[in-house]
Copies of this chain bind each other. A is one copy, B any other.
């Protein structure tokens, strides 16, 4: 009977997706480039019992998970990543962009309420906010121009949250501007091959920033973070990483396939 129930639930799930028609996608470009957008990074661990389910059940469960993602794409921009094998303590990561964190909360509640969600627990949740660049307007014109060149992406993702020390925030704006210009110039050689995005998280979690990287060349990402370790501003990192999340960018279908293995 249990089996039957599962079958029915899969059918219902599919019907649900079909019946609501093609989800009207949130405006990805706007959500990924506008200031004032909230970004949540939710890293989940899958518990041991998951692997002991038979594959059919796992795939059915994952389909309900996929259904929840599709349904929320109307309001939210949702990206999916596989951490398993490259990060300890977490198996997959969801990055969610939205204009209100309550929508993100509802989405993650819905994920956790799926049959798949019963085998999953939130290991790390980071919340940030996109803002207009604080220092770039004060940079020289050539540096501003360089920053406008496009960056190449994936398949690798790295997320490093950062907490600054009290001295950093106590510095006058012009000194922070000078240090951030040095920081930005150090990063420039990797601008083409490492795509970056910054979220501000003071007051929203235990960090001040969430730094997000995509690259095809992990060696360049390593060189970039190393270059940033050498500038004066790095002295003001009270906590850097812990956790550092490393994984690969996956479509929902790829993630479902990987977790259903």
- Which residues of A are at the interface with B, using a C-beta cutoff of 8 A? 36, 38, 40, 42, 47-48, 51-52, 82, 84-89, 101-102, 104-110, 112-113, 117-119, 121-125, 127, 129, 155-156, 158, 160, 166-167, 169-170, 200-206, 208, 213, 218-219, 221-222, 224-226, 229-230, 232, 234-235, 237, 240-244, 246-248, 258, 261
Contacts and interface: CB of A to CB of B under 8 A. Distances in A.
A68 to B, nearest CB: 12
Given A118-B48, A203-B160, A261-B113, A170 B125 contact: no
A125 B86 contact: yes
When all copies of this chain in the complex are counted, the total is: 5
A232 B203 CA distance: 18
A104 B118 CA distance: 28
Contacts of A156: 101-102
28 contacts: A36-B219, A38-B218, A40-B86, A42-B85, A47-B48, A48-B121, A51-B112, A51-B118, A84-B108, A84-B112, A84-B122, A85-B108, A85-B122, A85-B125, A86-B108, A87-B125, A105-B248, A109-B261, A158-B203, A158-B204, A169-B226, A170-B230, A202-B226, A203-B226, A203-B244, A204-B221, A206-B240, A206-B242
B243 A206 contact: yes
Contacts of A160: 203
